[in-house]
Amino acid sequence: MGLLDGKVAIVTGAGGGLGRCHALAFAKEGARVVVNDYGVARDGTGPGTTMGDGVVKEIRADGGETVANYDSVATMAGAQAIVQTAVNAFGRVDILVNNAGILRDKTLLKMDEAMWDTVIAVHLKGTFAVTQAAARRMVEQNQGGRIINTSSASGLIGNFGQANYGAAKAGIAGFTRVAAIEFAKHGITVNAIVPVAKTRMTEGISAVPDEFGPEKVSPFVVFLASDLGKDVTGRVFGIRGREILEYKYKITDGARATGDAWTAQEIADRFKEITR
């Protein structure tokens, strides 16, 4: 028996890289999988069906049940169509992995409005749109669910030339925590991963070793999607090759003003105490 027997999973951006590996791993664990991929290039241009169809063929060749979906995550209508594909084909939705993404890197002073809007739309709005559509179905089913979002160190730590991407990915981490709080009463867990893997999104980044294959990230996604991770929610995890870690926010003990209110000079004098 597989860890995901009887479950229906949606993986967005599943035509290659991380999404493909997640979809294949889910199918091997018994899930029926909706392979969503808009089929675009790394920068979000030129939609097509080839990539998604290829992953569907791989899953079916291995005896799995799957269907393709080619809608964009960046519109509410597209998100609803993705979820409806799962319902039409398999009758339900149990697991969602928000993985779809594009890159349009440029420094802030050179970035134009379209570069900003398009990246935010695919990553941040796309995560919201598909999550909302899938969660509504999960609530109707009244059997809980699993949602796994994809953040990035570019958002949580920062990276040169990726203000649009970093802002979106930081937003996804915050969105994850809020969604986890709101969905807890419905038995739906929401977590985020921060993967470091060699894919077409990172192929030009020398800091990502070739041995960090995307398939090394998927076992943790399976864990979160299965009953093994049923008590884990509202958290952000990094996966880097053989290493798994958790991102946590730290709050210092701070300091209290000596008078009724802080002055700029007192802040300067006690800055080390405030930030210690």
Positions marked active-site: 165
Structure tokens, 223: 């864990």
Identify the DSSP state of 148: E
Instruction: Give residues with Cβ within 8 angstroms of 83, minimum separation 6.
Output: 10, 93, 130, 133, 134, 137
Give dist(CA 208, CA 159) in Å, integer. 13
Identify the DSSP state of 5: T
By C-alpha distance, which of 79, 100, 99, 83 is closest to 91?
Answer: 83
Give dist(CA 276, CA 268) in Å, integer. 14
Residue 7 contacts residue 224 (beta carbons within 8 Å):
no
